[in-house]
Amino acid sequence: MATKKEKIEKTDKIALSVDDIWDEVNKEFGGTAVFKGSDEINFNWETIPFPTPSLGDAVGHWGAPLGRILHFHGKEGCGKTFLSLLIAKESLAKYPGSEVLFIDAEGSYDRNWVETLGIDTSRIRVISKNDAVEVFRLLVGKWKDGKKVATGILDRIIAGTLNVKLIILDSLAHLISQAEKDRDVSEME
């Protein structure tokens, strides 16, 4: 039977190997892709300004960071889409010549309402799909037998052939997974 000291040493070895794994992830994806919550990290991200200073005060920084995921959560009708579109307006103002990609999984994109908000709809690209697999393939491309056979929107953004500074997914809850599509009607609640 292992002594208490041996168990602690074994635990330390496991913790070290986990840290090594996280270090490998950071080497592969960039220095602070994953960090400990206790680490003091100085993020110096470029941001799209929030439409109101009070929102910046509420969240503790004054803009939506580029290249990061920002998730708005709340009850239906509380203004998540409205806020996202106001950030889109700020993005288009800050980056002339850029576009915004709006993934309309809800099927509720209303060009007239977007124009009423003062947004140049000619600079909004809309994907009106709620199939999660299709949306994923549009974004990251298609793969077959472990090889990429078609590039995705994100590949083109990274390569600089598309000048998209903001992607809005409206909304995650409305994307339908393959498992949901395959369910029998009797299994649904």
Cα distance between residue 146 and residue 112, in whole Å: 43
Mean pLDDT rounded to a whole number for the chain: 85
Task: Map residue 51 onto helix, strand or coil.
Answer: coil
Does 187 have pLDDT greater than 80? no
pLDDT higher than threshold 70 for residue 2: no
3-class SS string, 56-78: HHHHCCCEEECCCCCCCCCCCCC
Of all residues in the chain, the percent with pLDDT exceeding 90 is 48
Instruction: Report the predicted TM-score, pTM, of the whole model to 2 decimal places.
Output: 0.75
Q: 32 near 41, Cβ under 8 Å?
A: yes
> Which tokens hold the place of 24?
């490998």
What average pLDDT score do residues 12-28 get? 75
What is the C-alpha separation between 112 and 121, in angstroms, rounded?
9
